[in-house]
Amino acid sequence: MAEELDLRPDSTTSVRAWFVPGRGGAGAVLLLHGHGSSHRSMLGRARFLHRAGYSVLLIDFRGHGRSTGGPVTLGATESRDAHAALAYLRQRLPDERVAVIGASMGGAASLLGPSPLDADAFVLESVYATIDDAVYGRARSWLGPLGTAIAPLYLRHWLPRSGVSAHELRPIERIGEVRVPVYVMSGVDDRYTSLDEARALFERLRGPREFWAIEGTGHQDLYRAAGEEYEQRVLAFLDRYVR
């Protein structure tokens, strides 16, 4: 049975979270969803991880699901929510090693902010390299050549209103700070976050690393796309570095 929590990363934000305890000594996993989604998109991952014995913490980022606060910034302010969630896990399970699985914005949030999360391992799925890449990729996908003209307007006018700068939204400049094992995953047909971006992130890593390019898959739920193979690969990675 999941225990519902109310985390407070700052004075104006309520981050709803759900904790499911696992077996002692088996490790824990923090699940971070993507933009426009909620913890519900991570429930499939939570189920197979819990069956394997892991404790699991799922959250709704600010401005998503049942959480309050904002603005939504594709990982910058959301990093505060991720840090608060990891701090809770460290306090709740002081003797357990903790991994993070972050999808798209969730993966970016795990790398951004004052520092990347102090986790023992990361699984990063479909994470953009820079906000410029993210905006141009989506604009071209939605609007074709017109998107290339509109993307700069978004970056110049919307981003400043959110209270963050483009400089704060560059996971590729932060991922090199991570020294623990990282598994980078990307869909080969992802038109939002290209395979080249994923490979660029991977090349910046300085610790143990693995890479998986998933054939026939775009910017979507990689677990739903790959199913059993996803479970096998993720469990093997976590058993090796977290257990």
pLDDT of the residue at 165: 87
pLDDT mean for each 10 residues of the chain (243 residues): 94 96 97 97 98 98 95 94 98 98 98 97 97 81 75 73 87 98 97 94 97 94 96 98 94
The dihedrals phi and psi of 138, each to the nearest 5 degrees, come to -70, -40
Residue 71: its pLDDT value, please?
A: 87
CB of 98 closer than 8 Å to CB of 88 = no
| 3-state SS, residue 238 | helix
Nearest CA to 101 out of 54, 62, 135 is that of 54
The pLDDT of residue 40: 97
Q: Domain map of the chain by residue range?
A: 3-241
Chain-centroid distance of CA 16 in Å reads 16
**For the chain, the helix, strand and coil percentages under 3-state DSSP, each to the nearest 5:** 40, 20, 35
pTM of the model: 0.94
76 close to 114: Cβ distance less than 8 angstroms: no
Residue 174 near residue 108 (C-beta atoms within 8 A): no
pLDDT at 164: 86
pLDDT at 135: 79
- Residue 139 confidence (pLDDT): 75
pLDDT of residue 166: 86
Examine residue 71 and say whether the peptide bond preceding it is cis (omega within 30 degrees of 0).
Answer: yes
Q: Which CATH number fits domain 3-241: 3.40.50.1820, 1.10.10.10, 3.30.360.10, 3.40.30.10?
A: 3.40.50.1820
> Within 13 Å of residue 30, how many CA atoms lie on the same side as its CB?
34
